[in-house]
Structure 1
Amino acid sequence: MAIGSAGDLFPMLRIALALRQRGHRISVLGPEQHRPYVLQAGLAFHGEPVDEAVLDDPRLWHPRHGFGVVWAATRGVAGALPRFVEALPVAEACVLLVHPLALPEADLCRAARPDIRVATVYLAPSNLPTVHDPLMVGPLAVPRWVPAAARRWLWRQVGERLIDPVVLPGVNRERRLRGLSPVRHALGYLLQVPDLSLALFPAWFAATQPDWPKPLLHADFPLYEPDPAASFTPALAAFLAAGEAPVVFTPGTGNRQGAAYFQCALQATLRLQRRAIFLTPHAQQVPASLPPGVLWQPYVPLARLLPECAAIVHHGGIGTTAEALRSGIAQLVVPFAHDQFDNAARVTALGAGQTLPATGLSASRLTRSLRRVLSSRALAVNCRALSSRFAPNPDIEQVCAALVNLPL
């Protein structure tokens, strides 16, 4: 079960295809918007409608309120999991590989069928809370000198004030209907549900922490491209051939509130006299009139595009971050919410880019930050070194074996 944007789906598809190649039957559940990608991969899909109006909710990209919006928007999709599992042949062994937001529903499935095993994927390090450094709580970077007791207190406050009020009412209502005991603390419960946790990012990006759940398997980025052989559109090919390497700007495929972001991007591009590609499937947020040196594209495979570019300015989604690291180009990360702050901090710590918070973003600030990124030789050297850490064909056999061999 995949939940979220294309960046959340693609790693699941990479694993699903590898499991199918080993002879296993695969069904993918998720929001209806995922259907084209799943069918293109040749997998069975069971979709649930999601009201796309949530993408226009201004709280979606709020550092504090964004989680509540996402949780509410995904309950319908996650709620389809128990219904799907109830219809499966009882005699058939089944492993559920689910997004962390669907763990309560996966737990309900296992309560009804104790033979089922549950695994979850953590696509970004911030989805695994820890008291150890580096510690980001939303946009807040907790200093290294803060003692462990204070860090544990801080996480308790996050859980009790921000997560429990959102998660527990609905979770406990469904549990009561099935005669199950209530959950008291959402964070601890969610971390204890899986029989196996998969950290789908390499240790050099985020090392395993002592307080992460066990058993946990640390893997590489399972990068996936829906159509790796797809060629550039004629307009894009002509644009790339017409001048110097451009800068890519994207606030993420799921962001429909990026009009101000692209206005700042356009002004920064003009001030720096750089060429640029604006990447978003939501054309309405792109300035209506673009100069010849700026091209809008709804979608381009980053694995093919980024090696042709000078830098990328992006939101800090884990999929975009990983593709930028693999391409070896410098990054300017402009985080809005969710895991983006932690990913941005890690990019900066690795010397692969810089961070500019989206709050209070202006053309002047964006221009200054982008100028520093484009002119830094140290960044260029570090980016090339990090790119060399990516294998040409990432091996996820260890992930597949761990899923297949989960003890019953």
Structure 2
Amino acid sequence: MTSHKRVVLTAFGTLGDLYPAMVIALELQNRGHRVVIATTEGYRSKIEEIGIKFHALRPEIPPSMGAEWTSLLLDPFIDDKGLMDLFCSSQRQTYDDLIKAVQGADLLVSINCTVVVAPLVAQKTRMRWISCVVDPFYVAEDFLGITPFAWVNYAFVELVSFLVSFVASVLLVHKYISQLRAELGLLRTKRHTFFSDLFSPELVLALYSPVIAKRRSDYPANTQITGFTFDRQLPNQVLSQTLTEFLDSGSPPIVFTLGSSAVYAVDAEKFYTESVIAAQKLGYRAVLLVGDNTQNLPLTLPKGVITVNYAPHSEIFPRAALIVHQSGMGTTAQALLAGVPMLLVPYEYEQPDTAARLVRLGVGRMLKPKQYHADRVTTELNKLLTQPQYKVKALEVQNRIQSEKGVQTACDAIEKHLSLNCSTVEQMTS
């Protein structure tokens, strides 16, 4: 039995990054630990309303991410260098804020690699540190096998890693972090190994299902796949009265969503407009989850179509005939749990990789955003509706992940790590 400890969880990004931190924090707190979540100011109310202590990290980014900020995140080649400069130049502030958050803490847990100063804080304070990832794409560039030959796949990954190190955003982040490391008296990291340095040498928790990706030999040492960390513990996961009445008034609709980030993509309005036309052609009702970006609202809404800013995926997805989404891992997890076939419209970063995995699983089909036109969407949706193998496979995967206990497994691993003595941890990191 691990004695009660003080644990700081830190996350930066979209709700897909925040929710795993929140559910893990709740479980740890229920086990008697003292827990703090350190993230941007815009998430304060969400965290405090579930009874978890909050510590603010700069820069102050609104939880919706905003159209300009999200367009930056969706473009790895950073057309808007001013925004990237703002993010990078504030890393000293983020470091200072996180240092304050971990004072007196027994453990730091970072969610995803967006809090790039987490390794610096851990090294400077010599405190225990666990890193978590929610997408297999970011674990040693875990792409789908390009060829049947392992050595070719390995060479491909190494080549991609080398080329990525020259992408403007990577160069810029590495520059600022190297400067900060020098100020703190820490060793400089090499540019081509920069991302791998964001994984803790002590323990890496992969917060996704082995259905999506199994552990590979080139994963970071001490990696444990926990299963999805579903948000069943979070309060207020209920549908609005208006949406409930709509769902109760007819047949299951097709649900269209772009998650909490892609709703700000430049072509998001087109996505929703074409979706309405496709649903009408098929004779299906539709629910559009449009976020708080009013530009996403179609000019006219025919009968049988409703728009809402937000609805908990855990509640609405099981009531859908099909789900059309951007392939974010949080959305993907809930869609798989619902056992509903899906049409995938991936944007940037990990989303195309996740979509490819889902297509290979047999639970959905995929269109690129530029292919998203009503006629093509109608054809793809019709295949999902009329070809029974998609529903059969979706139910099979649902049965496999329903038994997973991702939150409990992650917290068991955290407590086990806390119970290790210092010499054991030093052996793991040497």
- CA drift at 1:369: 1.2
Partners in 2 of 1:348 and 1:67 — Cα distance? 33
Taking a change above 3 Å as real, the CA distance of residues 361 and 371 of structure 1, as seen in their structure-2 partners, is same
Compute the displacement of 1:73 (Å). Answer: 6.4
Which residue pairs with 2:255 in the alignment?
Answer: 248
Once the two structures are TM-superposed, the CA of residue 204 in structure 1 deviates from its matched residue by 2.0
Confirm or deny that 1:267 pairs with 2:277.
yes
Identify the residue that residue 97 of structure 1 maps to in structure 2: 109
Q: Deviations over 1:188-246 (max 9, x none)?
A: 55446512111011212101111110111110101114755654322212211222110
Match of 1:32 in 2: 41
Task: Quote the offset at 1:19 in angstroms.
Answer: 1.0
Structure 1 residue matching 2:20: 3-state secondary structure: helix
Amino acid at match of 2:209: P
Contact 2:178/2:189 (<8 A) preserved:
yes
Point out the more displaced range, 186-195 or 262-271. 186-195
Q: Could you give the per-residue CA deviations for residues 320-343 of structure 1, whole angstroms, max 9, x where no partner exists?
A: 100000000001110011211111
- Provide closer, same or farther for how the CA distance between residues 58 and 81 of structure 1 changes in structure 2, counting only shifts above 3 A: closer
Q: What is the DSSP-based 3-state SS (H/G/I as helix, E as strand, rest coil) of the residue aligned with 2:303?
A: coil
Q: What is the distance in 1 between the residues matched to 2:321 and 2:15? A: 24
Structure 2 unmatched runs, 5+? 1-9, 423-430
Cα shift readout 1:305-357 (whole Å, capped 9, x = no counterpart): 11111010000000110000000000111001121111101111111111111
When structure 1 is superposed on structure 2, of 383-392 and 256-265 the one drifting more is 383-392
Residue equivalent to 1:207? 214
In 2 relative to 1, CA 398–308 (structure 1 residues): closer, same or farther, beyond 3 Å?
closer
Q: Secondary structure at the match of 1:29?
A: strand
Partner of 1:138: none
Tell me the equivalent position of 1:139: none
Give the secondary structure class of the aligned counterpart of 1:349: helix
- Matched residue, 2:392: 381
Provide the secondary structure at the position in 1 that maps to 2:307.
strand
Match of 1:277 among 287, 290, 294: 287
Q: Taking structure 1 as reference, are residues 204 and 231 closer, same or farther at Cα in structure 2, changes over 3 Å only?
A: closer
AA aligned opposite 2:37? V
Q: 1:41 aligns with which of 50, 65, 72?
A: 50
Percent identical residues: 25
Find out whether 1:308 has 2:319 as its counterpart: yes
The one-letter code of the counterpart of 2:289 is L
Deviation at 1:363, TM superposition (A): 1.7
In structure 2, how many angstroms separate the alpha carbons of the residues matched to 1:209 and 1:162? Answer: 29
Equivalent residue of 1:41, what SS? coil
3-state SS, counterpart of residue 38 of structure 2: strand
Matching of residue 394 in structure 1 with residue 402 in structure 2: no
On the 8 A contact 1:67/1:338 being kept in 2, the answer is no
Deviations 1:81-120 (A, max 9, x none): 5324543686x34211113335541222123211x11111
The aligned length equals: 399
Q: Provide the rounded CA distance (Å) in 1 between the counterparts of 2:34 and 2:369.
A: 43
Q: Distance in 1 between matches of 2:232 and 2:84?
A: 27
Q: Pick the aligned partner of 1:124 from 115, 130, 135.
A: 135
Aligned to 2:155: 149
Deviates further, 289-298 or 73-82: 73-82
Instruction: For residue 39 of structure 1, report the CA deviation from its aligned partner.
Output: 1.5
Q: Give the 3 Å change call, closer, same or farther, for CA 86–304 of structure 1 in structure 2.
A: closer
Partners of 1:233 and 1:57 lie apart in 2 by: 27
Does structure 2 retain, via aligned residues, the 8 Å contact 1:30–1:77?
no
Aligned counterparts of 2:94 and 2:349: Cα–Cα separation in 1: 24
| SS of residue matched to 1:266 | helix
Question: Contact 2:205–2:224 at 8 Å: present in 1 too?
Answer: yes
Residue 170 (structure 1) aligned to one of 176, 194, 203? 176
3-state SS in 2 of match to 1:172: helix
Q: Is the 8 A contact 1:328 1:384 kept in 2?
A: yes
Cα shift readout 1:236-263 (whole Å, capped 9, x = no counterpart): 1221122211000001122223111111
**Are residues 206 and 77 of structure 1, via their aligned partners in 2, closer, same or farther at CA, if it must alter by over 3 Å?**
farther
The aligned residue for residue 426 of structure 2 is: none
Note if contact 2:207-2:228 (Cα within 8 Å) is conserved in structure 1: yes
Unaligned runs of 5+ in 1: 136-141
- Tell me, yes or no, if the aligned pair for 1:50 and 1:73 is still in contact at 8 Å: no
Confirm or deny: 8 A CA contact 2:230 2:407 kept in the other structure.
Answer: no
**SS of structure 1 residue aligned to 2:323:** strand
What is residue 189 of structure 2 aligned with on the other side? 183
1:173 to partner: Cα distance: 1.2
The change in CA–CA distance for 1:347 and 1:273 in structure 2 (over 3 A counts) is: same
Offset at residue 368 of structure 1 (A): 1.3
Identify the residue that residue 244 of structure 2 maps to in structure 1.
237
Report the AA paired with residue 177 of structure 1: E
In structure 1, C-alpha distance between the alignment counterparts of 2:199 and 2:80, rounded to whole Å = 20
CA RMSD of aligned residues (A): 2.8
Residue 125 (structure 2) aligns with? 113
Partners of 1:298 and 1:319 lie apart in 2 by 17
Change (3 A) 1:20 1:105: same
Contact 2:91–2:177 (CA under 8 A) maintained in structure 1 = no
TM-score (norm 2): 0.84
Matched residue type, 2:106: C
Partner Cα distance (2:95, 2:143) in 1? 37
Tell me how far 1:186 sits from its aligned partner: 4.9
Letter in 1 for 2:247: L
Asked whether the 8 Å contact 2:285–2:304 carries over to 1, the reply is yes
| Cα distance in 2, alignment partners of residues 373 and 66 from structure 1 | 37
